[in-house]
Structure 1
Amino acid sequence: MKFTVDRAVLLKALAHVQSVVERRNTIPILANVLIEATQQGVLRLIATDMEIAVQEEVPGVTVARAGRTTAPAATLYEITRNLPDGARVELDHPGGDAPLALRAGRFATSLTVLPVEDFPSMTEGRLPTSFALKAGVLRDLIDRTKFAISTEETRYYLNGIYMHATTVDGAPVLRAVATDGHRLARVEEPLPEGASGMPGVIIPRKTVNELRKLAEETQEDIALSLSDTKIKFAIGTVTLVSKLIDGTFPEYDRVIPRGNDKVLSVDKKAFSDAVKRVAAISSERSRPVKLSVDRNLLVLSAASPEQGQAQEELDGDVVEYTATPLEIGFQARYLSDITDQIGEKVVFYFADGSAPTIVKDAAKDEALYVLMPMRV
């Protein structure tokens, strides 16, 4: 195999695939990227951790000798990243156990390869459901839910975003849900054509993060194909295939309260900034911020045995509240995570000081958040 490619083209392709490679693994071949150059001038790069596989095809490469090999993904990426802009990179592998030679200008190095036969093939299998989502819609679904994904490995079925088709007031929607037991995020978009028969699937956290990075670079539609065990995303020249979490997502509707009738509406920026200021009194991420609400008045407060106390008042200029007085506490970070997804005005729906609270964006009804209170 021997080919020449622009440094910028190679770097972009390597950036897409190498991030799925686990830096620490017990299977050496999984640290490598599969490199294939075809007689048609196409460069194909593939990386996998056995749960996710990312493939990129780069056309228009100058191929002198077609072939395939593998090379250390992180090392190849770092070398390419540090080459000068505008460099032409030549990769030459004569075959067998010989090292892969890399040359660019006056720079030259060689990389140890591993047998192509050892590189795992992650077959897709049959993916009966196919539909397309606009890149902006997919980014929105991810951004407004991923912060609530659980990192607790024992509850593995919460370690991703649950995506499924359902109906709301008779209208079909695609719904994305994530929860860690302390907060819940639920976002809906109109159901795309072809998605009506999709199974409910849990997309793993790592897949979500890789997908979000890839979706950032395009404005075109993203094609999805899935079964009840695997999902594939086609994003321009990049294809991401992932296993799905084999588990049952909880019946999340049961934790969404129905009778919360005390409504607080507050300017998002004023509220978010106040939360950050009063929370700064404590270095403990889990310390609560207390919300004391009265008629058109909101007092935020926090206390720390080491640092002291902090308090800030927001009044009728930015606050609307006409129900009975209420005190409730929430973890500051959880409040910030939710308000970061909201536009100009955040609306809280309370029942009492110890019951789950609903949070919404006043201007967007398709997103709903549930937040469990803390004892204050």
Structure 2
Amino acid sequence: MANQDVRYYLNGLLLNISNNMLKLVASDGHRLAIYEDQLDQNTDVEARIILPRKGVLELIRLLDDPDAELKIEFSSNNIRIFNKNIIFSAKLVDSKYPDFSKVFQQQFFSSLQIQKNTLKEALTRVAILSNEKFKGVTLDLDANSLKISTHNPEHEEAEEELVIEYSGDPLTISFNAQYLLDALANLDSDLAVLTVASNANTCFIEEPNAQSYKFIVMPMKL
């Protein structure tokens, strides 16, 4: 989620309910996270509402019991959530979330599967010498290797090479290392799947099997 962005819809989390399908979406303009799940029962509800950032952060703190059953009520401008003996209420963000489905409707390079922790550790080591403000790292991908490199204004450089299996065309693309690390930290699987759009404007990071959670990162220029 963004913080005090002039695009009001980014300052919160989209809750999309379509009968028994639940979708949560958040973006800060540089990356986007999507979670989809199926409810146990039909709701006969079709709604798209945006919960405010402060409310979402408070809910994360309150919803500490994964087995608790919630009762949720909302109108066009307010939401109430009943959790045990607590009633949480918040004013919704008065804005319309844009249609992000187009990001899925494009051509992609071949996917790369890689051990999550191996990639996390390499990114963490290389990012130490990246520009402190932008945290930029470059990924060079070919059939046998993934090279991760960076440099900073003090002319310091770091580079690490990982052995991989990749069947697609060679590819060079740069990202904010912290954005990649945040995505990897939220995957439950030991494997991460990275898929770059053919126009190199987005990169999907997800799990190989249960793909309920997707993280999309926009590249950067170095």
- Per the normalisation by structure 2, the TM-score is 0.92
Contact 1:350 / 1:357 at 8 angstroms: preserved in 2?
yes
Name the residue aligned to 2:12: 160
Corresponding residue of 2:179: 334
Q: 1:218 to 1:345 in 2, by over 3 A?
A: closer
Deviation at 1:350, TM superposition (A): 1.7
Pair 313,358 (structure 1): closer, same or farther in 2 beyond 3 Å:
same
Alpha-carbon deviations, 1:311-354, whole Å to 9, x = none? 11110xxx331111110000011111111111211111123473
CA–CA distance in 2 between the matches of 1:175 and 1:166? 8
Give the unaligned 5+ runs of structure 2: none
Would you say the 8 A contact 1:292–1:326 is kept in 2?
Answer: yes
2:98 maps to 1:250 = yes
1:199 paired residue number: 47
TM-score after normalising by structure 1: 0.56
Amino acid at match of 1:329: S
C-alpha distance in 2 between matches for 1:329 and 1:203: 32
Query: SS state of the match for residue 365, structure 1?
Result: coil
In structure 1, give the amino acid aligned to 2:181: S
Report the Cα distance in structure 1 between the residues aligned to 2:167 and 2:216, rounded to whole angstroms: 22
More helix, by proportion: 1
Shift of 1:293: 0.6
Query: Unpaired runs of 5+ in structure 1?
Result: 1-148
Q: Quick check: 1:289–1:329 contact (8 Å CA) kept in 2?
A: yes
Instruction: Check conservation: 1:285, 1:332, Cα contact below 8 A.
Output: no
130, 136, 141: which one aligns with 1:293: 141
Counterpart in the other structure of 1:371: 217
Residue type of the alignment partner of 2:74: L
Matching of residues 143-158 of structure 1 within 5 Å: 149-158=1-10
Q: 1:257 to 1:349 in 2, by over 3 A?
A: farther
Q: Tell me which residue corresponds to 1:324.
A: 169
Aligned letter for 2:80? K
Partner of 2:126: 278
Identity of aligned pairs, percent? 30
Distance 2:161 2:118 in 1: 10
Distance 1:229 1:344 in 2: 40
> Contact 1:186/1:368 (CA < 8 Å) preserved in 2?
yes
SS at match of 1:274: helix
SS in structure 2 at match of 1:314: strand
**Aligned pairs, number:** 221
CA 1:155–1:187 in structure 2 vs 1: closer, same or farther (change >3 Å)?
A: same
Alpha-carbon deviations, 1:131-168, whole Å to 9, x = none?
xxxxxxxxxxxxxxxxxx1124311111111011248x
CA change 1:329–1:311 in 2 (3 A) is same
Match of 2:110 in 1: 262
Tell me how large the CA RMSD over aligned residues is: 1.8
Give the distance between the partners of 2:93 and 2:40, measured in 1 at CA.
Answer: 23
Q: Deviations over 1:45-82 (max 9, x none)?
A: xxxxxxxxxxxxxxxxxxxxxxxxxxxxxxxxxxxxxx
Do the aligned partners of residues 191 and 246 (structure 1) sit closer, same or farther apart at CA in structure 2, a change above 3 Å counting?
A: same
**For residues 337 and 257 of structure 1, do their structure 2 counterparts lie closer, same or farther at Cα, with a shift above 3 Å needed?**
farther
Note if contact 1:174-1:192 (Cα within 8 Å) is conserved in structure 2.
no
Please say if residues 18 and 47 of structure 2, whose CA atoms lie closer than 8 Å, have aligned partners that are also in contact: no
